[in-house]
Amino acid sequence: MSQHPLLRQVKRYWFEDGLAEIVTGVGFVGYALALWLAEHLSGWETALLDILVIGTPIVLIFAARWVVQHLKWRITYPRTGYVAYPKRFRDRRQVLRVLGLWALFTLGTGLAAFILSRGSAGGYLVTLGLLLAVFELALGYAQAMPRMGLYAAVAALAGLVGAALPTPWQQSEVILRGGWHLGWLGLAQIAGGALALQAYLRRHPEPLEGDLP
* Interface residue list for another protein (CB under 8 A): 4, 6-7, 9-11, 13, 73, 77-78, 80-87, 212-213
Q: For another protein, give the closer residue by CB, 14 or 31.
A: 14
At closest approach, how far in Å is the CB of 9 from another protein? 6
> Closer to another protein at the Cβ: 72 or 177?
72
In whole angstroms, how close is the CB of 148 to another protein at the nearest point?
Answer: 20
As measured in angstroms, the least distance from the Cβ of 4 to another protein is: 7
Beta carbons within 8 Å of 25's beta carbon, 6+ residues apart: 185, 186, 187, 188, 189, 190, 192, 193
Q: Which is nearer to another protein, 168 or 205 (CB)?
A: 205
Nearest partner of 51 among 63, 62, 59, 61, judged by Cα: 59
- Nearest CB to another protein, comparing residues 3 and 46: 3
- H or E, element range at 91: none
Identify which of 75, 37, 73, 70 has the alpha carbon closest to the alpha carbon of residue 56: 37
Best CA proximity match to 51, nearest among 27, 34, 63, 67? 34
| Amino acid at residue number 174 | V
Smallest separation, CB 80 to another protein (Å): 5
